[in-house]
Amino acid sequence: MENHLLVEAANAFGTPIYVYDLPFIAQRVETVQSFFEDFDFRLAYAMKANFNKDLLSLLNKLGTMVDVVSFGEYLQALSVGFSPERIIVNGNCKKESELERYVKDGVYSINLDSYEELLRLEKIASRQVRVSIRVNPDVDPKTHPHIATGLKENKFGVDFDTAHEMIKRINSNKNLELIGLHCHIGSQITEVEPYLEAVVSIKYFAKSVGLNFEVLNLGGGWGIDYGNGKAMSLQEYREKIFPILKELNSKIVLELGRWIVAPAAYLVSKVEYVKRTPFKTFVMLDTGMNHLIRPALYGAKHKILPLYETKGREKIKADVVGPICESADTFRKSYTMPRPREGELVVICDVGAYGYAMASDYNLMPKPKEIIWDGSKLFTSS
């Protein structure tokens, strides 16, 4: 988004604010859909990344599906108009009462995370229900350990032997229809190799048990470039993954979250003041880890750019920090930036995924407002 729009938003709505660029999101959806044009492909947006209602309404209008991981997300998806047949239910700990509702509503698929969950579902599957099995292929996604999910020590999914047992059980139950396999190996993945390992082992598994599945859901995980030049390469993905997907000949579902929305949002913040100690300089912002926890939680490095005139400004090296009473409340350490003055604005970039969604009112500092840019005007999100 252009800087002047972010400044305009801050002037109109105050700071700190999240600003969402909806046309950018529409463009990302279009890009991924045309990337898979040779396949029977469905994008199921992973709404855990950002469950803002205006954003979800846009995706609903664009006709995507949605992946939910909780009953709260399910209700949010329904509330903006997603019909149950366009909702995929994930999550590793589904409650019985929630499963009952998903069965009754007829969701697209309940993705079973465990054998135990299958037993739970069997008890309440009083009518036809479509299920998938989340397999854990024991693949290292080469990402931050907190967001790796496809290693055997992770709590997610089942090993192939257990999946085989589940398939037999599902096939012997007239109310359960196995539509496919699901596999989400992690998030912010910037290499194609882990996906290759995962799809190859799924292929061999399917062959070995004689499974012809309708849907292969490869989860999400595509990494974006936060400023270090590393991102998922679509070209390499096409070269290495497409041939195997073609062989499998099933419908492909991806549950992308971050790749769709991360670069589409900005956290605009005011510099309260610049503090100097004998050891360091700190740029104090009016937003902190309460609004964007990714740096504290994963060591994430988001670009921070000035929204002020930088010509002729001295460059400083500072820790950019927030107002929260924890030393982890640091966005960047020894960050080079033109010296800001009190009251000037900066923007923290690529915060559309797991930004506001993970924000809290810790220290009783309220959450920021969410502002929408729809391509022609800025307004407060409903």
Would you name the residues annotated as active-site residues? 325
Cα angle 106, 98, 72 (rounded to 5 degrees) comes to 100
Nearer to ligand LLP, 180 or 219 (CB): 219
Candidates 255-263, 284-292, 327-335, 338-346: pick the segment binding ligand LLP (CB under 6 A).
255-263
Q: How many CB atoms lie within 10 A of CB 300?
A: 17
Q: In one letter, which amino acid is 39?
A: F
| SS3 (DSSP) at 76 | helix
Establish if 322 lies at the interface with ligand LLP (CB under 6 A): no
How far apart CA 171 and CA 161 sit, in angstroms, is 16
Give yes or no for residue 67 binding ligand LLP (CB under 6 A): yes
The only residue of 28, 42, 94, 258 in contact with ligand LLP, by rule CB under 6 A: 258
Q: Is residue 50 involved in binding ligand LLP (CB under 6 A)?
A: no
Does the protein bind ligand LLP through residue 256 (CB under 6 A)? yes
Pattern 95-134, binding to ligand LLP, x per CB under 6 A?
Answer: ----------------------------------------
| DSSP code per residue over 9-47 | HHHHH-SSEEEEEHHHHHHHHHHHHHHTTTS-EEEEEET
294 binds ligand LLP (CB under 6 A): yes
Show the binding pattern over residues 217-246: x = contacts ligand LLP (CB under 6 A), - = does not: --xxxx------------------------
Q: Which region, judged by CB under 6 A, interacts with ligand LLP, from 30-38, 72-80, 172-180, 257-265?
A: 257-265
What sign results for the dihedral spanned by CA atoms 368, 275, 335, 337? positive
Q: Is residue 187 involved in binding ligand LLP (CB under 6 A)? A: yes
Establish if 94 lies at the interface with ligand LLP (CB under 6 A). Answer: no
Binding to ligand LLP by residue 291, rule CB under 6 A?
no
**What backbone phi and psi angles, to 5 degrees, belong to 57?**
-60, -40
Tokens in use for 283? 């740029």
CB atoms within 10 A of CB 171: 12
- Tell me if 49 contacts ligand LLP by CB under 6 A: yes
| Amino acid at residue number 358 | M
Radius of gyration of the chain (CA): 22
Using rule CB under 6 A, residue 147 touches ligand LLP: yes
Name the closest residue to ligand LLP (Cβ): 220
The whole-angstrom separation of Cα 148 and Cα 142 is 8
Q: Does 257 help bind ligand LLP (rule: CB under 6 A)?
A: yes
Pick one of 60, 64, 90, 269: the residue that binds ligand LLP (CB under 6 A).
Answer: 90
**For residue 312, with 0-12 CB atoms within 10 Å meaning exposed, 13-18 middle and 19 or more buried, which class applies?**
exposed
**What is the contact surface with ligand LLP in residues (CB under 6 A)?**
46, 48-49, 67, 90, 147, 184, 187-188, 219-222, 255-259, 294, 298, 353-354
